[in-house]
């Protein structure tokens, strides 16, 4: 773990990472209700909001669109990814090198590890190469720590998520992005298992403003250091309104009620 509080992807010790790698991970289906968001520039525009500390994208999106936003948005380059077309045991192809991510202007790196998958051994070896190479550029490493695979029936149960944060700490991540383990207590335990490493929550599919903000409030109370969120922001008609509220809940530690009242 490197000290990352001075990194541009951290604001007051916390992060709000806007993720937009869904076109690869899920396919265009995530854009069906918001076809205008198929244009990545629209989501980069959203990422210029002060609450957003980085935007997470794959290499092709960074190459094509980041140059227009490099003054206003911090780039988190996701180094691996898998499409929903892949039907095998969970795995994620490394599609960008650390050297190339640095050349594209990355402020941080992202890497998925599916602990528990039959491909865990190779994924961890690939993570090692990326993590150690990233250190040469002082680039923080955010691990999408998503235990899943044929042996794991429930990938969000508390013991799985606390294993996910611990695994990320021990493998050298600087931030672990994990799914919500179902309760604030379980999140608090997952945070404890991570030692000094920051834990952030993964957004998930779109819910109501109040439901989502309440969950964010609960995980911040539980010691999480923010959020990496995609659909719950950019699938909304007015992402700015939600980001205004998230800014209050994450950085000012206001309640969801208070943030929505403003």
The residues annotated with a catalytic role in the active site are 177
Q: How far apart are CA 220 and CA 191, in angstroms?
A: 10
- Choices 19-27, 43-51, 98-106, 120-128; region in contact with ligand FBP by CB under 6 A: 19-27
> Least distance from C-beta 76 to ligand FBP, angstroms?
10
- Choices 58-66, 181-189, 200-208, 250-258; region in contact with ligand FBP by CB under 6 A: 200-208
Residue nearest to ligand FBP (CB): 203
> Least distance from C-beta 136 to ligand FBP, angstroms?
25
Q: Rule CB under 6 A: which of 210-249 touch ligand FBP?
A: 228-232
Q: How far apart are CA 218 and CA 177, in angstroms?
A: 16
- Choices 45-53, 187-195, 196-204, 216-224; region in contact with ligand FBP by CB under 6 A: 196-204
Q: Which of 105, 149, 204, 223 binds ligand FBP (CB under 6 A)?
A: 204
Q: Which of 4, 11, 18, 25 binds ligand FBP (CB under 6 A)?
A: 25
Query: What does the chain come to in residues?
Result: 262
Q: Which token pair is 218?
A: 């609960």
> Least distance from C-beta 51 to ligand FBP, angstroms?
15
Rule CB under 6 A: say whether 149 interacts with ligand FBP.
no
The CA-based dihedral angle spanning residues 132, 137, 139, 144, taken in that order and rounded to the nearest 10 degrees: -40
Rule CB under 6 A: say whether 116 interacts with ligand FBP.
no
> Considering beta carbons, is residue 14 or 22 the nearer one to ligand FBP?
22
DSSP 1-16: ----TTSTT-BTTBEE
Looking at residue 31, the DSSP 8-state letter turns out to be G
CB-based contact 107:141 (threshold 8 Å) = no
Q: How far apart are CA 1 and CA 201, in angstroms?
A: 19
Q: How far apart are CA 76 and CA 53, in angstroms?
A: 9
> Least distance from C-beta 223 to ligand FBP, angstroms?
20
Q: Is 219 exposed, middle or buried (0-12, 13-18, 19+ CB in 10 A)?
A: buried
Rule CB under 6 A: say whether 120 interacts with ligand FBP.
no
Q: Which of 4, 18, 19, 109 binds ligand FBP (CB under 6 A)?
A: 19
> Least distance from C-beta 206 to ligand FBP, angstroms?
8
CB-based contact 57:75 (threshold 8 Å) = yes
Task: List the Cα angle 24/29/35 in 5-degree steps.
Answer: 100
Rule CB under 6 A: say whether 254 interacts with ligand FBP.
no
Q: Which residues contact ligand FBP (rule: CB under 6 A)?
A: 19, 21-22, 25-26, 144, 202-204, 228-232
């Amino acid at each position: 773990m490197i000290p990352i509080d001075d990194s541009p992807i951290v604001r007051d010790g916390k992060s709000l990472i806007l993720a937009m790698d869904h076109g690869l991970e899920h396919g265009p289906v995530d854009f069906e209700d918001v076809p205008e968001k198929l244009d990545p520039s629209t989501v980069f525009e959203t990422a210029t909001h002060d609450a957003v500390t980085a935007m997470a994208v794959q290499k092709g999106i960074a190459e094509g669109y980041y140059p227009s936003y490099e003054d206003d948005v911090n780039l988190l380059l996701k180094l691996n990814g898998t499409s929903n077309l892949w039907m095998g045991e969970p795995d994620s192809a490394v599609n960008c090198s650390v050297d190339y991510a640095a050349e594209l202007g990355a402020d941080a790196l992202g890497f998925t590890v599916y602990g528990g998958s039959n491909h865990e051994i190779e994924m961890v070896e690939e993570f090692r190469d990326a993590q150690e190479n990233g250190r040469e550029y002082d680039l923080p490493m955010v691990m999408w720590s998503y235990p899943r695979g044929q042996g794991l029936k429930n990938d969000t149960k508390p013991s799985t998520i606390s294993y996910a944060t611990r695994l990320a700490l021990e493998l050298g991540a600087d931030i672990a992005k994990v799914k919500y383990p179902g309760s604030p207590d379980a999140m608090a335990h997952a945070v404890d298992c991570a030692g000094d490493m920051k834990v952030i929550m993964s957004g998930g599919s779109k819910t109501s403003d109040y439901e989502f903000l309440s969950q964010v409030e609960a995980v911040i109370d539980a010691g999480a250091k923010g959020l990496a969120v995609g659909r719950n922001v950019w699938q909304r008609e007015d992402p700015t309104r939600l980001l205004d509220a998230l800014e209050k809940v994450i950085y000012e530690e206001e309640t969801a009620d208070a943030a929505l009242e403003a």
